[in-house]
Amino acid sequence: MSPTARLILASESPRRRELLSTVGIPFRVLPSGVDETPEAGETPARYARRAALDKGNWVAARHPGAYVLSADTIVVADGRILGKPGDRAEARRMLSSLAGREHRVVTAVSLVCAARGYRDVGTEVTRVRFRALTPAEVAAYARTGEGDDKAGAYAAQGAGMLLIDRVSGSFTNVVGLPMTRVIEMLRRARLIRVSRSGPHGYAAAGKRG
């Protein structure tokens, strides 16, 4: 890894990759191999934080000199975690349960560097309300397959935006990475600096010690 590409994104999510690319600094993608199954009695917020840290630590142990950014996003309704649907029937049930109601999208973000003993963890919560949906609308959206691999069975950045009545908080958090929080974490680690030129407004910080 070159001195200007000291950041690893521990996720294969194309949405997270696209969001991080908007910052304009080099990074590599290396997904982790950790088990993401919630533990017995684990609250949604605690699960998201642990899962994000586990992913980051798994990659950092193999690349100790790099800074590793990892995240875990969950949808929470009635205190329950809604994961990725197992099939279209489950997707329809999830969407129907969210219709006309508010739910929370919780993302825990971790930035770690094993060699420096560096760790920064934060959690972002966004409230999302779906509009009332007819069974036909639920079925039509489920058939698109857009939500097949997404928590809560929908994608806010795609056709799923048509399901949403309002969003309270970070929209990029609903997509998968709360970018305001991520930028602050990268700045605290001195991985980015404000740039006076370039399309993004940020640049990779110079090599440190």
pLDDT digits (tens, 9 = 90+) for 14-67: 999 999 999 888 999 999 988 878 888 889 999 999 999 999 999 999 999 999
pLDDT at site 209: 36
Would the pLDDT of 5 be above 90? Answer: no
pLDDT digits (tens, 9 = 90+) for 78-115: 999 998 899 999 999 999 999 999 999 999 999 999 99
Neighbour-count burial of 136, counting CB atoms closer than 10 A to its CB (0-12 exposed, 13-18 middle, 19+ buried): exposed
What tokens appear for 167 in the block? 């969003």
3-state SS string over 75-113?
EEECCEEECCCCCHHHHHHHHHHHCCCEEEEEEEEEEEE
In CATH, what is the architecture of 7-204? Alpha-Beta Complex (3.90)
Predicted structure pTM score: 0.88
Query: Please, are residues 104 and 174 in contact by the beta-carbon 8 Å criterion?
Result: no
3-state class (DSSP) for residue 152? helix
Q: Tell me if 46 sits within 8 A of 79, measured CB to CB.
A: no
Neighbours of 5 (CB within 10 A): 13
Q: How many of the other CB atoms lie within 10 Å of CB of 55?
A: 25
**Of 73, 65, 78, 77, residue with least CA distance to 28:** 65
Among 35, 54, 72, 120, the active-site one is 72
Question: Which residue stretches of the chain are H helix?
Answer: 14-21, 44-62, 88-98, 135-144, 171-175, 179-188
Six-digit token string for 200: 């993004």
pLDDT band at 2 (very low <50, low <70, confident <90, very high): very low
Q: Assess whether 72 carries a catalytic annotation.
A: yes
Please report, rounded to a whole number, the percentage of residues in the chain having pLDDT higher than 90.
Answer: 77
Q: Residue 40: its pLDDT value, please? A: 83
Kind and range of the H or E run holding 185: helix 179-188
- The confidence score (pLDDT) of residue 175 equals 93
